């Protein structure tokens, strides 16, 4: 599954710090911006793998998995149905 996430980066003195906006707890610190982006990607993958493993362990022996696809544009949700274990949800924001 491909997904996009938003890295928020900030330079503090000689250090670069960053967070993944969509996933709490994914934050890192590195001496260079490029190294920080690499470290954030590795940390994000590890957290997603751990969260997936925890969810499957919590579900026990009998469970279903569905892929949920979010499309952002504005902020009210319109669900476009179930199709081979995928749910599409378009978000729309009203201001």
Token pair for residue 94?
Answer: 């009203």
Distances in Å between the Cα of 30 and the Cα atoms of 1, 15, 33, 69 are 28, 6, 7, 32
Distance CA 34, CA 41 (A): 11
What's the pTM value of the predicted model, to 2 decimals? Answer: 0.70
Q: pLDDT band for position 2 (50/70/90)?
A: low
Each residue of 10-68: pLDDT tens digit? 999 999 999 999 999 999 999 999 999 999 999 999 999 999 999 999 999 998 888 88
């Amino acid at each position: 599954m491909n997904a996009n996430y938003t890295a928020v980066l900030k330079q503090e003195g000689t250090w670069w710090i960053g967070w993944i906006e969509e996933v709490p707890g994914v934050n890192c610190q590195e001496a260079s911006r490029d190294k920080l982006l690499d470290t954030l990607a590795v940390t994000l993958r590890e957290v997603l793998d751990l969260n997936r493993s925890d969810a499957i362990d919590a579900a026990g022996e009998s469970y279903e998995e569905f892929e949920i696809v979010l499309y952002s544009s504005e902020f009210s949700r319109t669900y476009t149905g179930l199709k081979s274990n995928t749910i599409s949800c378009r978000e729309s924001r009203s201001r």
